[in-house]
Amino acid sequence: MYETLDLRVARHPSESEEYFITRLFAYCLEHQDGIEFSRGLSDPNVPPIAIRDLTGVMRAWVDIGTPAADRLHRAAKSTARVVVYNHKDSAQWLAGLSSARIHRADEMEIYAIDRSLVASLAARLERRMSFAMSVADHDIYLSFSDGALQGTVTRQRI
């Protein structure tokens, strides 16, 4: 699928550049009808990105980073699909989740975005920027007028 997205994304004061970039990647990777950024990142009851059907029912809860087990538990009880995109070293977080009680934990989709890709894009962040993004299998390719970046998205399990 080829799509041109013209996004105007504001960075919340509490989010790091890496979190912001991962949220942007998650939006692009999950893009489909009904996708939306949440109205606020500080509300624990809403995901950073939601995918809703035409009636407003949430079809997917898309979280970023290393959300707490109780947050994932609530998300899995409230929606059919829970996806997490992570930009950090997740070994300790995943180990903690494996011992926690999380509804439908085995069905959760957890993806680690190449940390060097996130860091490289963070170093290039500007107020206004444009790039082309291509995804093939589990690889992300970013093209700029003056160069390119590449990284991998890896599926992880609790």
What CATH number does the domain containing 113 carry? 3.10.640.10
Q: In the structure encoding, which two tokens stand for residue 7, read together?
A: 């996004």
**Is 82 domain-assigned?**
yes
1 in Cβ contact with 31 (< 8 Å): no
**Is 12 domain-assigned?**
no
Which pLDDT band, with edges at 50, 70 and 90, does 118 fall under?
very high
**Is 5 domain-assigned?**
no
Q: Which amino acid is at 150?
A: Q
**Is 1 domain-assigned?**
no
Closest CA to 84 of 75, 116, 92: 75
Cα–Cα distances (Å) from 107 to 31, 34, 73, 118, 134, in that order, read 20, 22, 12, 26, 27
Q: In the structure encoding, which two tokens stand for residue 2, read together?
A: 């080829």
**Is 45 domain-assigned?**
yes
**Range of the structural domain that residue 23 is part of:** 17-156
**Is 36 domain-assigned?**
yes
Which pLDDT band, with edges at 50, 70 and 90, does 134 fall under?
very high
69 in Cβ contact with 62 (< 8 Å): no
The total of structural domains in the chain comes to 1
**Is 24 domain-assigned?**
yes
Which pLDDT band, with edges at 50, 70 and 90, does 127 fall under?
confident
pTM of the full structure: 0.91
pLDDT(78) > 70: yes
pLDDT at 9: 82
**Is 6 domain-assigned?**
no
